[in-house]
Amino acid sequence: MLIGLMVSNCSNTYVKNKKNISSPNDLMKFTNIWCEKNKSTDKVIRMCGQGWSKDLTISEQKAIMDSKLKIADITQHSLIKNEKIIHKDNKKGIDKSYEMTAENILEEATISGYKIISKKVLKEKNGWRTMVLLEYNLI
C-alpha cells in the first residue's frame, strides 16, 4: 500500500510540474498519467482530450472538441454492421467467403452542460499541447 501511495504521489508531481513535452514517449507517458483521472460512473462521464497547435487558443479548442467527440461517441452513436456469407459450388467442392463491415456513425450530436474539470497547457516543439478533462452528467 505504501508503494502504491508513493507511485501515486510521483505521478501527481510529474503531471503538476510538467511544462514541456520533449518526445513522443514523453507525450505518451504524460497522456497516460493525465487520463488516469478519467474515472466515469453510471451518472457521470469523464473524458480526457488533447490538442496541439502553434496557436494556444486553437490548441485549447481542439482539446475540448476531442473530449466532446469521445463523449458523443459513448452517448449518441449508432453502429451499423453488414455481414455477407457466400457459398459457391465449384469442381473441387465449395468455396466459402465471409465479409463483415461495421461503421460507427455520429450525426448531429449535442453535448451541452459539460464542465471542464481540469486543463493543462504544455509547450511542445514550436507550439502548444493542451490537455483537458471534461465531465458530462448523464442524469
pLDDT digits (tens, 9 = 90+) for 80-113: 888 888 888 888 888 889 898 888 777 777 778 8
The span from the CA of 128 to the CA of 122, in Å, is 6
Sign of the torsion angle spanned by Cα atoms 58, 33, 116, 74: positive
How many C-beta atoms lie closer than 10 Å to residue 136's C-beta? 21
Report how far apart, in Å, the C-alpha atoms of 8 and of each of 36, 56, 64 are: 10, 30, 26
Instruction: Give bridge partners of residue 124 from the DSSP assignment.
Output: 21, 127
Model confidence, pTM: 0.67
Q: Domains of the chain (ranges plus CATH)?
A: 20-78+109-137 (3.10.28)
pLDDT in tens, 40-57: 888 899 999 999 999 999
Extract the C-alpha cell encoding 4. 502504491
